[in-house]
Amino acid sequence: MRLSIIASAALLLLFNQKIQVDAVRHDIRVRAPFLRHPVYLTNLEQTDLRFTATSEDPLVSALNFALNELKASEFITKNVYTSEHNQVTHVYLRQAVGGLEVVNGDININVDRYGNIVSFGNSFYRGKDVTLRALHAEQKYLEKQDENKVEKVLKYVSEDLRLMSEKFAQIVFGASEDDDTESVTAPETESVTAPEAFNDVTFDIAPFSIPYSESDLGSPVDALQALFESMSATASAFDGVAESIPITVTMASTASFQSNEPILTLNHVPFAVAPVIAKPAYVQTEFGDLELVWSLQFQMEENWIHAHVNPRTRHVLILSDWVSDAQYNVFPLPLVDPTQGPRELLTDPYDVVASPLGWHEQKKGVKFTTTSGNNVYAQENTQNVETWETNYRPDGGDELVFDFPLDVDKDEPPSYLNASVTNLFYWNNIMHDLSYRYGFNEIAGNFQESNGDHGGLGGDAVIANAQDGSGVNNANFATPPDGQHGQMRMYVWDLSEPNRDGDLSSGIIIHEYTHGISIRLTGGPANSDCLLWDEAGGMGEGWGDFFATVIAMQPGDTREKIADVGSWAANQEGGIRKYPYSTNMEINPETYGMMNQPYYWFVHAKGEVWAGMLYEVYWNLVDKHNFTAQVFPPVPTGEDTEAPLKHILSYGNTLILQLVIDGMKLQPCNPSFVQARDAILQADLVLTGGENQCEIWAGFAKRGLGVEAMRIGAPMGGFRRESFQVPKECA
């Protein structure tokens, strides 16, 4: 029984001892099973993609595809939303077995405006030993919907799944293509105008029976103890903690809105700054099995752990860390750091589309005169305290004038704290507004305290700490799922005299914020484990460098420009990467095959290779379409509602930003370089009809990611085969 899980006396452990809170950033060795069966396929035939229209609703089309083609009969819709500029609907499904999520079983399906499937990724468990039934229940978030239209779609889906479950009592994944099952086809339905209403929806058409017992599952306390034991191998602070954990266990809910598993909270956990969230789930192993685990969300000062632990074997199967490394006098867009030019006193620089209430108002009547607003809370944290809500913030007064003195050549960072927090506030808002205009909006999982009536989950404005006392010479960003605050920590750099403040380096801020963008867009807003490690984790770093580089470009720059990262803060000519970014192979020789070398086994090094590839594509598109200093699209008007998209398509630097963001939405969970490349190519097909395919291919092929490139074998022991070949139509 479910409730017996929390009633067990073994779980009700309480010790009267002070809970230890740790402010050190720990080296967490990310891990996950290597699955050989995931696929990502794109439809690169332009005629099929652009001109084969159907009358099916995109959501219905995606569900049809999942049910009939991918044989997915039990799943949860984690996220569904449509990108306005290209009308592609993104559907993110999570596999379930007996009502419990398979945490590394994901399908993402991308559907064009006509109902055509343009690409999909699939890592569902394909074992033959699991009985699968259709799992559907009540929908949430119907506030914006025409309920009649929603009911029609739900009625179809429920009936479709009922027929399947009756006809095939035991449907297994991996069924052969030529079995004699009948295809289920959707009837004609009216279009659902806002498919994001189906985010976090589960459906239920049959009585539910729990497929596991308490003895099978084990205790979440045992799972947490096993996690501490595992982490003590690389972080000595955890030694011995597992032997006496003063924990109480309570039921948070009997059924989550995402699935039917119980959710528990573990209280008084050492090192935790909030209760640890625990829920049962399944994990696919690399041996083709399913293991029953406890899924643990464990937030510490400097780490935010998401672990999946089998308490019976003491095995940590998956371990991820969600932390990735008015008038405002600021270093404005596109200045990278104080060496690029002087500060300017800007008046109301907010974008009226992305932040219609400005940067200091969350909703009608909730206003601030400090560096707080709907998109970010920016404050100092020099003492590294947990209570960010009450930390000091500069106050601009009723006139909202944030004009504070600054002399980086003479003064130490604490003396210009007001200027630092102001600059941090400005650049977080710039990144919010800019990414919003390119499709990282409410329904896509962006960071806002209030989403109004635009969908998605609010309550997650970025918490940005300036001159954070928990470290030096670095920065990090924590990205939990949609609805939980993103957290940015910016540090002082002590490699110069006087010391330098990372809050004044927009390149570092952009890099960190981009972690939030890429993690929320890859795999859908509800899944923060889709850029976990290896090439996927490397691209998470690479996108950060690439965005920082592209946003800093100025008129007059050419493909001969050499771009670096972090040179001012680190007081290091050439920046903090192995090579600066350049299209000159003698200056930056990195190619896909170089990732076979030991130096490139780590994510930051892989990120350098990925960013270098995107840098090549950037210059190919800028050479073709020219450059604009106006990186923000114009505001649409009644006379020209297409003005923003026209602007984006007219210039190479805006086009590449759009294609990269679109690619993040299209690519599968934990993509490889090849899959992410294909997603960008697919994004161009959807957006422009394939106008830039050869320029994109040329950029990737120059760095070894041509048409025959592939990774052979497991991530840490495999081999990457380079290809400098472009498609024959581009040769």
Answer yes or no: are the C-beta atoms of 476 and 381 closer than 8 Å. Answer: no
HSE of 93, CA atoms in CB hemisphere, 13 A: 29
Instruction: State the catalytic residue, choosing from 302, 512, 535, 608.
Output: 512
**DSSP string covering 522-586, please?**
TT-TT---SS-SHHHHHHHHHHHHHHHHHHT--TT--TT--B-SSHHHHT-TT-SSSS-B-S-TT
All residues at 6 or more sequence positions from 544 whose CB lies less than 8 Å from its CB, including other chains: 324, 510, 511, 512, 514, 515, 518, 607
Spell out where 426-545 has E strands: 462-466, 475-478, 487-490, 492-493, 500-501
Answer yes or no: are the C-beta atoms of 481 and 507 closer than 8 Å. Answer: no
Q: What is the residue type of 443?
A: I
Crossing angle between the packed helical segments 506-521 and 534-551, to the nearest 10 degrees: 130
CA distance 8 to 262: 15
Instruction: Measure Cα distances from 57 to 53, 87, 150, 369 in Å.
Output: 11, 12, 11, 46
Buried b / exposed e across 233-248, counting CB within 10 Å, b at 16+? eebeebeebbeebbbb
**DSSP string covering 344-401, please?**
EEEE----TTT-TT-SSEEETTEE-SBSB-SSEEEEE-TT--S-GGGS---B-TTTTE
Take residue 674 and report the two structure tokens written for it: 């090849």
Answer yes or no: are the C-beta atoms of 435 and 517 closer than 8 Å. Answer: yes
CA distance 237 to 614: 40
Answer yes or no: are the C-beta atoms of 171 and 132 closer than 8 Å. Answer: yes
Instruction: Measure Cα distances from 452 to 87, 90, 199 in Å.
Output: 22, 22, 16
Greatest Cα pair distance, the chain, in angstroms, is 78
In the annotation, is 512 catalytic? yes
CA distance 559 to 564: 14
20: closest CA among 227, 266, 268, 248? 268
**CA 443 from chain center: how many Å?**
13
The β-bridge partners of 280 are 294
Answer yes or no: are the C-beta atoms of 428 and 401 closer than 8 Å. Answer: no
**DSSP string covering 211-262, please?**
---HHHH--HHHHHHHHHHHHTTT-GGGTTGGGS---EEEEEESS-SSSSS-
Buried b / exposed e across 648-673, counting CB within 10 Å, b at 16+? bbebbbbbbbbbbbbbbbbbbbbbbb
All residues at 6 or more sequence positions from 459 whose CB lies less than 8 Å from its CB, including other chains: 449, 483, 484, 485
Phi/psi-derived region of residue 704, left when phi > 0, alpha when psi is between -120 and 50, beta in every other case: left
CA distance 346 to 79: 38
Long-range contacts, stretch 303-308, CB < 8 angstroms, 24+ apart: 303/25, 303/26, 303/28, 304/478, 304/480, 304/487, 305/28, 305/227, 305/231, 306/528, 306/529, 307/223, 307/227, 308/103, 308/281, 308/283
CA distance 696 to 385: 46
CA angle 716/719/724 to nearest 5° reads 135
- Active-site annotation, residues: 512
